[in-house]
Chains A and B, each alone.
Chain A
Amino acid sequence: MNFDFDDDQKALQRAVREYLERESPLSECRRVLEGEARYSETVWRGAAEMGWLGTAIPERYGGAGLGALELALVAEEVGRALAPIPFASSIYLVSEALLQLGSEAQKERYLPQLAAGTCIGAFALQEGPGHGNGQALATVLKDGAITGDKQPVLDGDVAGLYVVACRVGDQPRLALVGAGEGVKATPVACIDGSRALARLQLSGAQAELLGDGGDAAAIEHLLDRAATLMAFEQLGGADQAFAITREYVLDRYVFGRPVGSFQAIKHRLADLFVDISLARSNSYYAAWALAGSADELPVAAAAARAAASDAFDLAASEMVHMHGGIGFTWEADAQLFYKRAKLLALTLGSPTHWRDRLTLRLARESAA
């Protein structure tokens, strides 16, 4: 038994952290939020050059050939920096989908581009409000042509490759769609303006099944994998929101004392620290299950994802609140965390949705 990352993994994490502290400070997130750019091309290029995009992609497809544990740690640092890059879409979702389900030809064709960052992937599941898990989709693939209306698609308007959840007949399947005729991605404004959301309209676009197309279970498994990695991105964000808030309450004086000396504040920060710590423990377990393809993944991923979503959400809202008036301004960085936390919590389905899955899965285990 060993419940920690090893020294090489920690060294990788440190390297990613140091690089992002330098190249992707919060001002970079703000630059994307306030400007025209849909993501940070410099950070994206840097991540590609450092080899992080291909962390878990085998070497024969142009990756670094490391595993899910290493990728989880990179994700944590991307989250800590609030890096404004399409990492989750391209890596935890599209690259993972190709690795899990893609045919050899598809892997050979797309994975090297994804690892090099020259192609950005996006995962198109949702079809409007509510929670999608691949059931009852309106998007249809027939005779190599796909038609449907997907919204929202994270990083949809910057992607060149889509993994689209659709149906063939009445069976849920995953399809690969490239940019081209019949593919229209329109930017939609996002609650977190540092990230790109889009509507993807497919009208008879050319499409192929991803491998044999998978099924409902395969889609659910993919979401579990992505949820685990996303949990690490959320943990990173939560940790950083917490650290900045802690420093602020030590630095700011009211009634002749630091804000952080009042018990109402101390106890809430203690509770927040505990929540983050519990989310971290659940996430480590899920990462282990992910790396080893353990049977424990469905329960572990749902627990990690729900816990990390709630922890980041709470960290970000406490961050705004404990900064007082300045926390509510556009100028302060608290807004960056508040918005990113909510975007990440909603992407891949809300914490409520994951909690529901969690209990259903526990019940399934208990019946087995």
Chain B
Amino acid sequence: MDFEDTREEAEFRAECRAWLEANASERAPGSEVGMSARDNETVERAQAWQAKKADAGWACITWPREYGGRGATRIQGSIWNQEEARFETPPNLFLIGQGMLGPTLMAHGTEAQQTRYLEKMLRGEEIWCQLFSEPGAGSDLAALRTRAEQDGDAWVINGQKIWTTGAQYSRWGMIVTRTSPGAVKHKGITYFIVDMHAPGVEVRPIKQINGGSSFNEVFFSDVRVPAENMIGRVNEGWRGAITTLMNERAAIGGGGMGGGVDTLVRLAQQVPIDGRPALEDAGVRQRIARLYIRQRGVQLAGLRSLTALSRGETPGPDLSIGKLVGAPLRQEMAAFALELLGPMGAVDDDAVGDRLWQQAYLGAPGGRIAGGTDEIMRNIISERVLGLPPETRVDKHVAFEDVPTGRKS
């Protein structure tokens, strides 16, 4: 066991850092990398940064060389991520593509699809979105109703997707559709690559709790998709969708903890309670300790599963706990920071302060819903990891068209 870098790792880290120092400036403590863009200018900045990395061989470094990666190990990938996180970079608009859809194409796509899409995805030239959820299908994703029907050598898509992050600036989407409503739920689903600029695709932004609009509704009216854009086989799309979801949990699990416990400790040293620093309050110290243990615990669990993965073991349970711990933790941490600020915690104004914790608080509930809610994570852990019985299902042996879905009023 060694939590320090080996000599080769230290050299690699130095190499990463040297390039980053020459090309970016250090991030202010407490700030974090964004995941969405409010305007075109931000999208362009993000793409420029991604292209710069790609030119220097620092984009998706764990990807195989044939797609533009450098075939780096997972540990090297994690070293790069740690180092990049220390620098001020534009928002990462590529995570859904590079972290989830790219790996799905590598596993289930045709060679022609891999050649056509992966390198541009890596370079950030084309941004991707994930068209999974619908008004009646989220946790129960297989309840999706968006139809795809064959017409000659194309498929015609009709229906609605919702909560689609980044659809407004995406060039491509990966969409799960229903192709066989008479089959049981999971058996009639087909997975496609869809051109977001195709006629009949309409994207409408949705305003969120935090005032931003990173996600959208997307409507499909007679959108034609060539048959070559199918991922895997007709009616067998669920397998590919599962690959995407597994990668999603891994990709967002360990993610962003910008305003972490160290920032909270500094806050507690500064803000007063009855004229003394809040940190002198024993109750405050208890809460900080509990938050720290969870934050450090998920970080270390992530590093542990990295060791297992780099030995060729299958992803361990530790991977699936990252999201379940990390998302509520962010929310609790932000809520506690606002409490420490007292009434000033309610001030969410650029002219007064950095709004770090206010924005974290308003954004945090989304993390507990996106990519599988807390409850779905607990189901996954209890069933797949602990081997407890699956939920009782009433929709298992019934044709999909006979299953109730969505809201009833």
- Chain A interface residues toward B at CB < 8 A: 1-6, 69, 246, 249-250, 257-258, 260-261, 263, 265-267, 269-271, 273-274, 277-282, 284-285, 287-288, 291, 302-303, 306-307, 352, 354-356, 358-360, 362-363, 366-367
Q: Are B75 and A1 in contact (CB under 8 A)?
A: yes
| Chain B positions within 8 Å of A260 at CB level | 388-389
A2-B307, A3-B300, A355-B285 are contacts. A287–B386 as well, Cβ < 8 Å?
no
Q: Are B289 and A270 in contact (CB under 8 A)?
A: no
Whole-angstrom CA separation of A109 from B272 in the bound complex: 54
- B403 contacts the other chain (CB 8 A): no
| Chain A positions within 8 Å of B325 at CB level | 274, 278
| Chain B positions within 8 Å of A274 at CB level | 321, 324-325, 381
Min CB–CB distance A358 → chain B (angstroms): 4
| Chain A positions within 8 Å of B266 at CB level | 366
Chain B residue with minimal CB distance to A2? B2
Which of B9, B290, B293, B388 interacts with A246 by CB under 8 Å? Answer: B388
Whole-angstrom CA separation of A307 from B300 in the bound complex: 13
The 7 closest A-B pairs by CB, nearest first: A278-B297, A355-B289, A281-B300, A266-B382, A261-B389, A359-B285, A270-B378
Whole-angstrom CA separation of A366 from B268 in the bound complex: 11
Whole-angstrom CA separation of A306 from B288 in the bound complex: 13
Min CB–CB distance A307 → chain B (angstroms): 5
Chain B residue with minimal CB distance to A265? B388
Task: Supply 30 A–B pairs (Cβ within 8 Å), ascending by A.
Answer: A1-B5, A1-B6, A3-B307, A246-B386, A261-B389, A261-B390, A261-B391, A266-B383, A267-B375, A269-B388, A270-B379, A277-B317, A278-B297, A278-B321, A278-B325, A281-B298, A281-B299, A281-B304, A281-B318, A284-B300, A285-B3, A302-B289, A307-B293, A355-B286, A359-B286, A359-B292, A360-B285, A363-B265, A363-B279, A366-B265
Q: Are B392 and A257 in contact (CB under 8 A)?
A: yes
Q: Are B389 and A3 in contact (CB under 8 A)?
A: no
Q: Are B2 and A1 in contact (CB under 8 A)?
A: yes
Min CB–CB distance B305 → chain A (angstroms): 9
| Chain B positions within 8 Å of A258 at CB level | 389
Which of A354, A362, A367 interacts with B288 by CB under 8 Å? Answer: A362
A1-B9, A306-B289, A352-B286 are contacts. A287–B388 as well, Cβ < 8 Å?
no
Whole-angstrom CA separation of A188 from B260 in the bound complex: 45
Q: Are A4 and B304 in contact (CB under 8 A)?
A: yes
Q: Are B378 and A267 in contact (CB under 8 A)?
A: yes
Give B325-368 as 1s and 0s: 1 = Cβ < 8 Å from A's Cβ atoms.
10000000000000000000000000000000000000000000
Q: Are A362 and B261 in contact (CB under 8 A)?
A: yes
| Chain A positions within 8 Å of B306 at CB level | 1, 3
| Chain B positions within 8 Å of A352 at CB level | 286
Min CB–CB distance A107 → chain B (angstroms): 27
Which of A1, A6, A266, A356 interacts with B3 by CB under 8 Å? Answer: A1
Q: Are B300 and A356 in contact (CB under 8 A)?
A: no
- Chain B interface residues toward A at CB < 8 A: 1-6, 9, 75, 261-262, 265-266, 268-269, 279, 282, 284-286, 288-290, 292-294, 296-301, 303-304, 306-308, 317-318, 321, 324-325, 375, 377-379, 381-383, 385-392
Q: Are B1 and A261 in contact (CB under 8 A)?
A: no
Min CB–CB distance A68 → chain B (angstroms): 10
Min CB–CB distance B278 → chain A (angstroms): 11
| Chain A positions within 8 Å of B300 at CB level | 3, 281-282, 284-285
Whole-angstrom CA separation of A284 from B385 in the bound complex: 21
Q: Are B2 and A362 in contact (CB under 8 A)?
A: no
A1-B5, A2-B307, A356-B286 are contacts. A279–B388 as well, Cβ < 8 Å?
no
| Chain B positions within 8 Å of A354 at CB level | 289
Which of A266, A284, A287 interacts with B378 by CB under 8 Å? Answer: A266
| Chain B positions within 8 Å of A250 at CB level | 387-389
| Chain A positions within 8 Å of B382 at CB level | 266-267, 269-270, 273
Q: Are B288 and A1 in contact (CB under 8 A)?
A: no
Which of A4, A355, A358 interacts with B1 by CB under 8 Å? Answer: A4
Whole-angstrom CA separation of A303 from B300 in the bound complex: 12
Whole-angstrom CA separation of A171 from B378 in the bound complex: 52
| Chain A positions within 8 Å of B386 at CB level | 246, 266, 269-270, 273
Whole-angstrom CA separation of A145 from B34 in the bound complex: 66
Which of A266, A281, A302, A355 interacts with B290 by CB under 8 Å? Answer: A355
Min CB–CB distance B318 → chain A (angstroms): 6
| Chain A positions within 8 Å of B285 at CB level | 355-356, 359-360
| Chain B positions within 8 Å of A284 at CB level | 1, 300, 304
Q: Are B388 and A249 in contact (CB under 8 A)?
A: yes
Min CB–CB distance A234 → chain B (angstroms): 14
Whole-angstrom CA separation of A257 from B393 in the bound complex: 13
Whole-angstrom CA separation of A265 from B388 in the bound complex: 10
Q: Are B289 and A359 in contact (CB under 8 A)?
A: yes
Q: Are B279 and A281 in contact (CB under 8 A)?
A: no
Given A281-B299, A358-B289, A362-B261, 16 other A-B residues pairs in contact with their CB atoms under 8 A: A1-B5, A1-B306, A263-B379, A267-B378, A269-B388, A274-B324, A277-B317, A277-B321, A278-B325, A279-B297, A281-B297, A303-B296, A355-B290, A359-B285, A359-B292, A362-B288
Whole-angstrom CA separation of A303 from B296 in the bound complex: 9
Whole-angstrom CA separation of A302 from B292 in the bound complex: 11
Which of A1, A265, A363 interacts with B307 by CB under 8 Å? Answer: A1
| Chain A positions within 8 Å of B383 at CB level | 266
